Amino acid sequence: MNHLSGMDAMFLHLESAEMPMHIGGLHVLELPAGQGGDFFEEVKACVAQRLHLAAVFNRKLANMPFDLSNPVWVDDEDIDLDHHVRHFTLPKPGSNRQLQQAIARLHSSLLDRSRPLWELYIIDGLKSGEVALYTKLHHAGVDGQAGMEVGRALFDMEPSGRKIRPPRPKLRRNQYQLGVAELMGAALFNGSQQCLKLVRMLPEMGRVAADLVLNRKGPLVRQMASLTKTRQRMTPRTPFNEAITNQRSFAGRTVPLAEIKQIAKAFSVSLNDVVMATVAGTLRRYLSESRELPSRSMSAAVPASLRELGDDTANNQVSVLIVDLATDEADPLVRLQRISASATQRKDSLSNYKSLIPTDFPILAAPWLISGAASLYGRSRMANWMPPPANLVISNVAGIPVPLYFAGAKVISYYPVSIPCHGMALNVTVASYNGRMDYGLIACRRTIADLNELGDYLLAEHRLLFEMTQGTAAEEQYSATCTAEAPVMKNKTVRNRREHRISH
């Protein structure tokens, strides 16, 4: 059995019916020419050959007696592939909007915790003739490291695939559940190991804390107080900051990666800065239209890795940065520079104190204690009136620069599908793939019923930033954007560009 780290387990304990804690991906596939067989059956055969290549496919949770400690991972010796690999056909006409709605519904349901925490769907019926692959994995078992393992297991670099070596035979225990004594022993051992890790961290934590207190920037207390005041000033309440339901809306949009790189180079910022500036301009347009744009700047919760170079441990090691989105600034370039400065400052601060953040820690009776608190927070709708930590989540997952293939089909796109949460009903996650930057927008449907409008504004904002790198080509549009008081209308030209739609 393998123990969950404290951070991994938090994704289990914070989960509720309204807030599933799984992540996913929507891939649009181009079937090989002359495809005459049953592609779904080919997919099942392909996945069956590769289950042993990634641990997440073969392990399930075993809960501790009375939920006195975190559960553990145990091997599942009887995987029901028909449960995990499923087939879904869109009704006619098989539009992109129907595909988006299907992904939103599939992403809203909880994974079965009595089985390995993953599902895979083949979705056909698209009028384009393409096929969609939707993957769904629990965040407790998948971080960036495990996600790469899953990608290496499922995808190939060539259409013909690769030869998969069969797994080595294992001794079957034929034991559906572990005994109480075995589980209690595992809980005690894991708790002692977690305490030992914290003790070993104490010297480093003390050194970092001393450096922060004694450095030239001033006392640590003063720095933390300043940061708290800044965050309070930066985070006004918006329509996105409320308790959510389990209903979801989803939209995907694509922009050329080369254009994002050109924007970043032209204005001496990072690619992630450009992504956040694009989202910030999108939110400004969207909320201005309904006259709900706050006078103070909005902010974003941005996940940041705590993983040290060379660390290949398959557990979650992540913190969150709160970045100013400068939505109170009308000038797109000033907004971009403010976002870049805020992101740089937050990253520098994290590098100073990340040694103080433990990723594995013991909590007595964590399952029922934290789960109960999370359920109370959601069902009491406290997020509707408590100050929000940020207005939304913006995340950037690791990119893949080369084309991939799945069961012989070419992968055209990869739209991430992530996690809205109580108090932050909108999540925007991006992934670069083979010269594209794919945006996956997901939200509580009660908060944003149709994300396509937000997606269209996103394309228009990207186009504005890109045209600013072309000298005077967009000077008139730039001037109008900076000075207009009226809401910005939809760009019908951008709206009708099929290559920026979800099916590429």
Q: What is the pLDDT of residues 184-221, one digit of tens each?
A: 666 566 656 656 655 565 565 566 556 655 564 444 44
The two three-digit tokens of residue 242, written as one number: 């409320």
* Residues 227-232, mean pLDDT to the nearest whole number: 50
pLDDT above 70 for 347: yes
Task: Please report the pLDDT score of residue 26 as a whole number.
Answer: 97
Alpha helices in 52-179 (DSSP H): 81-84, 96-107, 144-154
| 311 within 8 A of 344, measured Cβ to Cβ | no
Q: Which of 139, 422, 462, 500 is catalytic?
A: 139
Segments making up each domain of the chain, as ranges: 2-179, 219-361+381-399+419-500
| Count of C-beta atoms within a 10 Å radius of residue 503 | 18
Pairwise CA distance, residues 54 & 201, whole Å: 30
Helix axis angle, 257-266 relative to 271-289, nearest 10°? Answer: 100
- pLDDT recorded at residue 158: 93
pLDDT value of residue 481: 55
Distances (CA, A) of 102 to 132, 139, 427, 489: 11, 21, 18, 28
Across residues 295-320, what is the average pLDDT? 74
CA atoms of 265 and 267, how far apart (whole Å):
6
The CATH number that domain 219-361+381-399+419-500 falls under is 3.30.559.30
- Per residue in 47-88, pLDDT tens? 999 999 998 999 999 887 766 777 888 889 889 999 999 999
- Check for a shared fold between 2-179 and 219-361+381-399+419-500: yes
Give 488's pLDDT tier (boundaries 50, 70, 90): very low
What DSSP line would sit under 173-219, residue for residue? ---SS--HHHHHHHHHHHHHHHHHHHHHHHHHHHHHHHHHHHSTT--
Class of domain 2-179: alpha beta
Q: Is 139 among the catalytic positions?
A: yes
Start-to-end Cα distance in the chain: 43
| Residue 360 scores a pLDDT above 60 | no
**pLDDT tens per residue across span 98-154:** 999 999 999 999 999 999 999 999 999 999 999 999 999 999 988 655 677 788 899
Of 284, 337, 275, 263, the closest CA to residue 484 belongs to: 284
Which residues make beta-bridge pairs with 396? 430
pLDDT of residue 220: 47
**Mean pLDDT (the chain, rounded):** 82
Three-class secondary structure of residue 416 per DSSP: strand
Q: State the Cα–Cα distance between residues 458 and 450, nearest whole angstrom.
A: 14
Q: How far lies 318's CA from each of 6, 8, 82, 139, 468, in Å? A: 12, 10, 33, 12, 34
